Amino acid sequence: MRKLGFWPRFAVILVKPLMTALTRRDWRGFEHIPATGGVILAFNHVSHADPFTAAHYVYDSGRWPQFLAKESVFRIPVAGKILHWCRQIPVFRGTVDAAKALDAAISAVSAGGCVVIYPEGTTTREPNLWPMKGKTGVARLALATGAPVIPIAQDGAQQLFDPRTKKFRLKRVPVAVWAGPPVDLSAWQGAEPTRAVLDAVTDEITNHIRDLLSEIRGEPAPPIYVPVRAGKGQA
């Protein structure tokens, strides 16, 4: 049994009934998520609503999710405090404190926690909401801890809030969240975290998530998308 404490249980009481009412859930792959011990869950990011569906999935799997989330969210009155009390991890982007998020995530995984990370770092900009090229945080965390990385694809939360149109839809929608087996990163075991290594590990994890999303959607996946602002288009 999870020993959650007051505030995590309070968050569950607030969020789970709402998500149950708003979603028809297709949860698969719980068997790939270890019941105990440090683990990294790597999700694709299709909507600002999907942290709620992801949290619901992870909670139903028997683990407590610790998300890496933008530091600005922690400054929201009341909600920010609850996030802190629920053991979520702030990310200080573009500041001298940016490394603190990685250190905190490493500590959480090393202590046996279940850390949720979006390799993309933000909602995807791919026009049809396929995964885009990931940032290297997930690779750094994986190499630093040696913890299993579970790829998880989700689809459907964009029907609650579509990042392309900025429209909410308060209607029950189908949501699929599927986990796959741990990503085999043995080729990089003990490797120095050079840029080439970090990019290769990140791409390996992202490709597994993309392939799972292809299974969910029942259609072939496009190449991993590289945002135009990066000056490349697709890769």
Confidence of residue 2 (pLDDT cuts 50, 70, 90): low
pLDDT above 60: residue 232:
no
Structural Rg of the chain based on CA atoms: 17
Domains delineated in the chain: 38-230 (3.40.1130.10)
Residue type, 145: T
Instruction: Lowest mean pLDDT of 36-40, 93-97, 111-115, 175-179, name the range.
Output: 93-97
Q: What share of residues in the chain are helix, strand, coil (percent, to 5)?
A: 40, 20, 40
More reliable by pLDDT, 96 or 50: 50
Mean pLDDT of 179-192: 96
pLDDT above 50: residue 235:
no
Q: Which of 138, 171, 178 is nearest to 28 (CA)?
A: 178
Q: How many CB atoms lie within 10 A of CB 188?
A: 17
The C-alpha angle with vertex 209 and arms to 170 and 13, in degrees rounded to 5, equals 40
Residue type, 18: L
Cα(78)–Cα(86) distance, rounded to whole angstroms?
A: 12
pLDDT above 70: residue 231:
no
173 beta partners: 23
Cα(227)–Cα(45) distance, rounded to whole angstroms?
A: 14
pLDDT digits (tens, 9 = 90+) for 42-76: 999 999 999 999 999 999 999 999 998 878 888 88
In Å, how far are 10, 26, 35, 71 from 1, measured between CA atoms?
17, 24, 10, 30
Cα(33)–Cα(58) distance, rounded to whole angstroms?
A: 9
